[in-house]
Amino acid sequence: TKTLKETLQEVIPAKQEQLRKLKTDHLQAVVGEVKVENIIGGMRGLKAMLWDASVLDPNEGIRFHGLSIPDCQKVLPAAPGGKEMTAESMLWLLMTGRVPSEAESRQLSRELAEKGELPEFVEKLVDSFPTTLHPMTQLGMGVAALNHDSVFQAAYESGMKKSEYWTYTLEDSLNLIARLPALAARIYRNVYKPGMTMPAINRDLDLIGNYSALLGFGDNHNLTEYLRLYIALHGDHEGGNASAHTSHLVGSTLADPYLSYSAALFALAGPLHGLANQEVLRWQLAMQAELGSDVSHEQIKEYLWKTLKSGQVVPGYGHGVLRNPDPRFIALQEFCDAHPELQQSPVVALVKKTYEVAPDVLKEHGKTKNPYPNVDATSGCVLHHYGLKEFKYYTVIFGVSRALGCLTQSVWARALGLPLERPKSLSLDALEKLIQ
Ligand code: AMX
């Protein structure tokens, strides 16, 4: 059985060669055009980043190295006793483009568990935060502080070779991913469950098995499985989304993975991005409080119009790129369908009913380019059902997940020697001049 690092050592040379060929043969090839709408429209549609691990098709959704979500659910190893793909399996696929064997995935689980303890000063730092500080702010600060032990930074100071950048980046990235459960769970404990004792990290458990146990849900098998699926699914979503792009931009300065991922977390903390999952649940619970549990489609329609007419967006619907229901939403809905206890949950049922009417209302409203649900439409209600009810915390779980994709890219950016990112900006006057 090879380690993740050994597997990367095998796959990196071919990619380096592919990039070298592009550089020598095709540097001036034209692959698109830049329109004013790109410049003033959040760079939507602009093909301007290299990101190998996943590609998003507007209609079909995300593919990880060519594998769709149902493909991944079929081939990626689960945890012992579980059915859902693990975070480690997804990380292995994202990093190497290969499906890991069970033994490889288990070995990675053990490696991460062995590295999972937090340094004492980070524990103290996190314990010193006021419990009123948003959990995402705490997570971002905790991750940034972990850069105290960055091996990339230390090696850079002592003059490592460029060809070694990726190995130190990988070491930092694995250390960071390993420590995220302990950090994220400590924040949960401090803010919501003061006095709760957290178990030691179990070296025989996978990353998310440990995370669930640290959160106090270790004996809830179905929630643990849901977290595994949720975290694997949220791992990567192409390079241009705000968190991934932020991490890539900051990393392009050769800031270490802790600094670049902490920056990504602060992008994830915005309501149009990762914070949406807390907003969805808040909104659905408010709907439930107003309409009761046994609601008709007609009542939901009216509630949707009320939200829209008050100038708010319908949380969980719409997407920057997708133009169909998000396959991650579908996968989580299928999880709900497969678990009878979730069928009994009024909030899960309300989310499903909302999905039955919201697309038509949004089409009639006529603004959003995508009237269909994104993954956040459903993710929170399942957590809520299983007793993880503190919705301000939900984005933190997303933050544990997105590290898989962002840090994969950090490693590859160093392996491929990608340069400092520095797009050209224009003033309004300069833009007008270019048009004339
Ligand atoms: N409800 C009401 N109006 C919506 C809407 C929704 N769910 N989604 C988009 N619109 C509106 C936009 O506000 C915009 O209005 P404007 O012209 O007055 O500014 C118009 O429709 C066009 O927007 P768009 O091109 O379809 O979307 P976008 O790329 O600008 O934004 C997104 C995408 C996700 C931010 C947006 O759909 C939205 O705000 N959705 C609700 C919040 C949400 O679910 N976010 C989660 C995103 C996924 C994630 O990162 N986790």
Which tens digits make up the pLDDT trace of 370-389? 999 999 899 999 999 999 99
User: Which CATH number is 102-273+398-415 given?
Assistant: 1.10.580.10
Residue owning the nearest CA to atom 23 of ligand 1: 368
* The pLDDT value given to residue 43: 95
Give residue 56 CA to ligand 1 midpoint distance, Å: 17
Question: What value does the mean pLDDT take over residues 13-25?
Answer: 98
63 three-class SS: strand
Of 267, 284, 201, 282, nearest to 399 (Cα)?
Answer: 267
Q: Which active-site residues does the annotation give?
A: 273, 319, 376
Residue 276 has pLDDT above 90, yes or no: no
Which residue among 236, 368, 381 has the greatest number of ligand 1 atoms within 8 angstroms of its CB, and so is best to mutate? Answer: 368
pTM score, two decimals?
A: 0.95
Ranges of each domain in the chain: 102-273+398-415
Between 293 and 320, where is the model more confident? 320
Give residue 396 CA to ligand 1 midpoint distance, Å: 22
Here the tokens at position 36 are: 């004013």
Residue owning the nearest CA to atom 15 of ligand 1: 367
Residue 271 has pLDDT above 90, yes or no: no
Of ligand 1's listed atoms, the one at least distance from the Cα of 241 is: 50
* The pLDDT value given to residue 165: 98
Instruction: Measure the CA–CA gap between 362 and 370, rounded to whole angstroms.
Output: 8
In degrees, to the nearest 5, what angle opens at C-alpha 406 toward C-alphas 256 and 317?
140
Of ligand 1's listed atoms, the one at least distance from the Cα of 320 is: 29
Question: What value does the mean pLDDT take over residues 298-310?
Answer: 97
Of 368, 383, 390, nearest to 316 (Cα)?
Answer: 368
Residue owning the nearest CA to atom 40 of ligand 1: 318
pLDDT 10s digits, 385-422: 999 999 899 999 999 999 999 999 999 999 999 999 99
DSSP string over 283-304:
HHHHHHHHH-SS--HHHHHHHH
Give residue 315 CA to ligand 1 midpoint distance, Å: 8
pLDDT band for 320, please (50, 70, 90 cuts).
confident
pLDDT band for 327, please (50, 70, 90 cuts).
very high
Here the tokens at position 95 are: 């990093």
pLDDT 10s digits, 49-83: 999 999 999 999 999 999 999 999 999 999 999 99
Q: How far is CA 365 from CA 24, 189, 297, 319, 368, in A?
A: 50, 42, 17, 16, 8
pLDDT band for 294, please (50, 70, 90 cuts).
confident
Residue owning the nearest CA to atom 17 of ligand 1: 367
User: How many CB atoms lie under 10 A from the CB of residue 2?
Assistant: 16
Give residue 110 CA to ligand 1 midpoint distance, Å: 41
Residue 436 has pLDDT above 90, yes or no: no
Pocket of ligand 1 (CB under 6 A): 272-274, 276, 308, 313-320, 367-370, 374, 376
* The pLDDT value given to residue 279: 87
